[in-house]
Amino acid sequence: MSNVSLYSVAYTLSSVLLGALAHLFPAPIHGWLISGTVVTALAAVIFAAILLLASMLNTILLIWYERKLLGRFMDRRGAMHVGYAGLLQNFADGLKLFRKDTVRPGQADPLGFWLSPTAYMVTSLVIFGLLPISTGWNGGSLPLTLLLALVIFSFAPLFIFLGAWASNNKYSLIGGMRSAAQMIAYEVPILLAVVAVVVLAGTFDLNTIVLEQRNYWFWAPLFLALIVFLTGMLAEMERIPFDLPEAEAELVEGWNTEYGGMLFAFFMLADYLRALVGSILVVLLFLGGWTLPSYVPAALTSFPLAGIVWFMVKTYLVFGLFVWVRASLPRIRTDQLLRLGWMRMVPLALLSVLLAALVVLSHCLPLIGCVPSMGG
């Protein structure tokens, strides 16, 4: 089963669909329908649809997972009533939000107000096309996938600030400015932490990065970088303790104060999409992606789609860590956040780059020992 890839599934579906469809039409159209170009084009569409569906379903499941986990942390049970153990609660919430009237404040700028949630959502979704989740199960496999993903990931402050400014609301504006400052400040340590990974792996291609971790996962030599990356991702996702752009105690709802109904649902979904992307990136860069250590019994890794299963397990565990942090830490202040970012995270990230370089040069790992073949 290991040679099954997402694209092959899409291609098979496409050719089966078109083959069935072609029987309804006379020869010229029949021939054109089963031609390689059309099948490939439809395969691409199906491919995108599967990706969209999977990412959205995962996001909604992620929200459910967070609610249940938070509930347990707080000595309660979370959503219970819609569906089994509240599994359908988020669909109900989503439906409610989509049915709501969308209100634009009279003084708000229409273009920015409408564009911002859409663009925020779209840029968050596009990243999923770049992330591999198992051997062959990815969209584009470019040499610079990681860089591209991070670039798209960092579009967000632009759109948040756009929406905040267009809302023409003081809380939104302050929240938008905080958000922009925070995201830009934490881009730097995140990228530096990624540089450490790249130095060790010798490539920007996520598939290769995962394969490079076959001997040891990168969190062991790059523990500092992992901490920096997790902290930075928390800030990028705007989750507690770094959720001050939408600090509800002082700024009502921060930059999305004026958004309601469907637009708010967009922001909400995109937030969780980004949280999912963040967790996936942690798994890919530091936790060995879909691979398991070699001492794990083969029975655990040889069943169909084992890679995807383990990948999702790891992703949800990482997200569980974020939820745990959310349940136990208070929110910090803007100036403290920026101080933490520039004065603690950046030096730590630089140090981890240095460590990565040392590992590559010396072929030695702390706590593990020296192996001649080690390092990129």
Partner 1 sequence: MTEMWVNMGPQHPMTHGLWNLRVRIEGEIIKDVEPEMGYLHRGIEKISEDRHYNEIITLMDRTCYVAGLSWEHLFIVAAEQALHVTPPERAEYIRVMSAELQRIASHLMWYSAFVQDLGLMTPFLYGMRDRDLILDLFQSYTGGRLTYEYMRVGGVRSDLPLGFTQRCRQVVDWLMDRFVEYDQLCLSSTIFHERCDGLGVLLEPEAVAYGVTGPMLRSAGSRRDLRKDRPYSVYDQVQFDVATATTADVTGRYLVRMEEMRQSVRIVRQCLDWLDDHPGPVMADHLPRWLGAPYAPMGNESYLLKRNYPTGVGLSMIEEPHGEAGAYVVNDGGEHPYRVKFRSPVLINIWAAKRYLPGYRVADIPPIMGSVDVCVGECDR
Using CB under 8 A, which residues numbered 93 to 132 contact partner 1?
none
Among 26, 330, 369, 372, interactor with partner 1 by CB under 8 A: 330
| Smallest separation, CB 231 to partner 1 (Å) | 12
Distances (CA, A) of 268 to 58, 296, 319, 375: 14, 38, 16, 40
Q: Looking at 69-77, 87-95, 271-279, 354-362, which segment touches partner 1 (CB under 8 A)?
A: 69-77
Output 65 or 216, the one with its CB closest to partner 1: 65
Distance CA 178, CA 155 (A): 15
| Smallest separation, CB 172 to partner 1 (Å) | 12
Q: Looking at 108-116, 151-159, 245-253, 284-292, which segment touches partner 1 (CB under 8 A)?
A: 245-253
Using CB under 8 A, which residues numbered 25 to 54 contact partner 1?
none
The single residue listed with the structure tokens 């932490």 is 193
**Are the CB atoms for 326 and 202 separated by under 8 Å?**
no
Output 122 or 252, the one with its CB closest to partner 1: 252
Distance CA 119, CA 267 (A): 10
Output 273 or 337, the one with its CB closest to partner 1: 337
Q: Looking at 5-13, 133-141, 188-196, 248-256, which segment touches partner 1 (CB under 8 A)?
A: 248-256
Q: Looking at 30-38, 142-150, 190-198, 235-243, which segment touches partner 1 (CB under 8 A)?
A: 235-243
Among 129, 241, 288, 289, interactor with partner 1 by CB under 8 A: 241
| Smallest separation, CB 253 to partner 1 (Å) | 8
Q: Looking at 15-23, 131-139, 220-228, 320-328, which segment touches partner 1 (CB under 8 A)?
A: 320-328
Among 21, 70, 92, 309, interactor with partner 1 by CB under 8 A: 70
Distance CA 93, CA 263 (A): 14
Output 50 or 184, the one with its CB closest to partner 1: 184
Among 23, 36, 37, 76, interactor with partner 1 by CB under 8 A: 76
Output 11 or 242, the one with its CB closest to partner 1: 242
Q: Looking at 2-10, 24-32, 39-47, 327-335, which segment touches partner 1 (CB under 8 A)?
A: 327-335
Residues that bind partner 1 (rule: CB under 8 A) add up to a total of: 29
Among 43, 133, 247, 270, interactor with partner 1 by CB under 8 A: 247
Output 139 or 254, the one with its CB closest to partner 1: 254
Q: Give the interface with partner 1 as residue ranges (CB under 8 A).
A: 70, 73-76, 170-171, 174, 240-241, 243-244, 247-252, 326-336
